[in-house]
């Protein structure tokens, strides 16, 4: 799907404002690097999704891992959305943002006993169970507390999502979910589960999916399995279709699936399902609503290449280093300049700290402000303190106004949990 509104998408030409906020003035006031998010753009995506789902018994559970800033989660709260979490930390963030526990589902292959206990105590809606060991642990912990846990089996349908290998999750060699044969055994033995109600299915085959065919195939396999289970006498009250819908990182090359077409695939596959359908979009809601502002530190002419060194690094945006991901980069200026070719790199002491190679940009100089686009998902949420770099500020833009939603980390903040050895103890 193409960007939805030219008034709120990141500028692809020499614009200097976004969502009514002057980016040059903002960067001058708050410093760089700095993550900025358009509340208007997120609301537009929310509205488009709600319109596409009209008439369906559906609950949207935003994938908090995409961007777990409390201010972003609050936008989901205002929309009546829930949250898909993969850690107790994401649960605490979601609850603090006002998302009711009854709208939270817990996914992930490595839920610890402590995390499960926290989620049971909070009264979350559902656990997406990914292994027999987890299922038995959930049964024991729920029984010890005298509560019933609602659970869905995460089915691994062995479908290639046709995306990057590191974000593909639905093939048999991936660590996620269980095969249909194993899931079938779980349901056959479910009467033994005195404190777990196994009444749901879950599937999620990957992220940044641009081809609808793997989605159709995965949902078809899940739908066939659901009908088989019902025929065998099992009640299936929810089907979680996951997330993973792709966005446009590279204009003219990425062709995302329109949200209406995506929902139509779900409607067709689950046409006669009378339970609740859960969706877990993350990237689609947040990615194109975010950008990373960074200044040029210097231009370095190497023996073979010209480097544009920025104050942002892989510590602020890991995707290019981790996935060889493409992000569009543009100077935030109205000035016309001749085009030059650069390798755009950060200051971290890793060759992999590279945003782009052989990228043509208007000629840049030290001090110029750049925008790295489509960073609203898996940008700040994957940040680190590597090289002892404080975390960048995060700012929400909204129709001409802004709010700092995460203060820039100070050196004191970064060191707050550390201390020199003053006393040794025995375990």
Quote the CA–CA distance of 265 and 278 in Å, as a whole number: 14
**Distance between start and end Cα atoms, the chain:** 57
User: How far is Cα 388 from Cα 369, in angstroms, rounded to an integer?
Assistant: 23
Question: What is the Cα Rg of the chain in Å?
Answer: 23
**pLDDT, tens digit only, all 427 positions of the chain:** 333 333 444 444 446 899 999 999 999 999 999 999 999 999 999 999 999 999 999 999 999 999 999 999 999 999 999 999 999 999 999 999 999 999 999 999 999 999 999 999 999 999 999 999 999 999 999 999 999 999 999 998 877 555 545 444 444 555 567 999 999 999 999 999 999 999 999 998 888 989 998 899 989 999 999 999 999 999 999 999 999 999 999 999 999 999 999 999 999 999 999 999 999 999 999 999 999 999 999 999 988 999 999 999 999 999 999 999 999 999 998 888 899 999 999 999 999 999 999 999 999 999 999 999 999 999 999 999 999 999 999 999 999 999 999 999 999 999 999 999 999 999 9
Contact in structure between 126 and 152 (CB atoms under 8 Å)? yes
**Residues 279, 283, 284, 288, Cα dihedral to 10°:** 160
Q: Is residue 349 annotated as part of the catalytic site, yes or no?
A: yes
Task: Say which CATH topology domain 107-281 has.
Answer: TIM Barrel (3.20.20)
CATH superfamily of 17-36+287-415: Lyase, Ornithine Decarboxylase; Chain A, domain 1 (2.40.37.10)
Which one of 34, 61, 349, 364 is the catalytic residue? 349
* Nearest Cα to Cα of residue 42 among 83, 15, 1, 74: 74
Q: Let me know how long the chain is.
A: 427
C-alpha span between 402 and 395 (Å, rounded)? 7
302 in Cβ contact with 357 (< 8 Å): no
Domain ranges of the chain: 17-36+287-415, 107-281
Tokens 């479908």 -> residue: 159
């Amino acid at each position: 799907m193409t960007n939805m509104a030219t008034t709120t998408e990141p500028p692809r030409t020499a614009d200097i404002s976004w969502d009514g906020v002057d980016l040059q003035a903002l960067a001058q006031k708050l410093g760089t690097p700095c993550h900025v998010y358009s509340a208007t753009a997120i609301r537009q995506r929310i509205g488009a999704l709600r319109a596409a789902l009209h008439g369906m018994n559906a609950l949207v559970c935003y994938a908090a891992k995409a961007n777990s800033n409390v201010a972003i989660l609050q936008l989901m709260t205002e929309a009546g959305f829930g949250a898909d979490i993969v850690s107790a930390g994401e649960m605490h963030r979601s609850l603090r943002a006002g998302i009711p526990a009854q709208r939270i589902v817990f996914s992930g292959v490595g839920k610890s006993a402590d995390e499960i206990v926290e989620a049971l105590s909070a009264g979350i809606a559902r656990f997406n169970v990914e292994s027999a060991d987890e299922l038995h642990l959930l049964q024991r912990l729920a029984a010890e507390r005298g509560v019933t846990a609602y659970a869905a089996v995460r089915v691994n349908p062995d479908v290639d999502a046709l995306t990057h290998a590191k974000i593909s999750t639905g093939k048999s060699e991936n660590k996620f979910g269980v095969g249909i044969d194993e899931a079938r055994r779980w349901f056959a033995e479910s009467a033994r589960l005195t404190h777990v109600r196994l009444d749901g299915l879950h599937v999620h085959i990957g992220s940044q999916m641009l081809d609808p065919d793997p989605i159709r195939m995965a949902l078809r396999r899940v739908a066939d399995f659901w009908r088989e289970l019902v025929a065998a006498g099992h009640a299936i009250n929810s089907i979680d279709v996951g997330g993973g819908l792709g966005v446009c990182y590279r204009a003219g090359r990425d062709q995302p699936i329109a949200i209406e077409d995506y929902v139509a695939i779900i409607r067709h596959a689950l046409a006669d399902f009378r339970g609740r359908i859960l969706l877990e979009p993350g990237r689609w809601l947040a990615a194109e609503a975010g950008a990373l502002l960074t200044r040029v530190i210097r231009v370095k002419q190497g023996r073979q290449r010209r480097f544009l060194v920025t104050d942002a690094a892989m510590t602020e945006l890991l995707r290019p280093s981790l996935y060889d991901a493409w992000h569009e980069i543009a100077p935030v200026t109205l000035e016309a300049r001749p085009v030059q070719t650069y390798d755009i790199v950060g200051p971290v002491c890793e060759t992999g700290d590279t945003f782009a190679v052989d990228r043509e940009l208007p000629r840049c100089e030290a001090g110029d402000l750049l925008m790295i686009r489509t960073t609203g998902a898996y940008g700040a949420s994957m940040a680190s303190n590597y090289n002892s770099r404080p975390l960048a500020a995060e700012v929400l833009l909204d129709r001409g106004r802004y709010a700092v939603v995460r203060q820039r980390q100070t050196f004191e903040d970064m060191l707050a949990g550390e201390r020199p050895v003053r006393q040794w103890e025995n375990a």
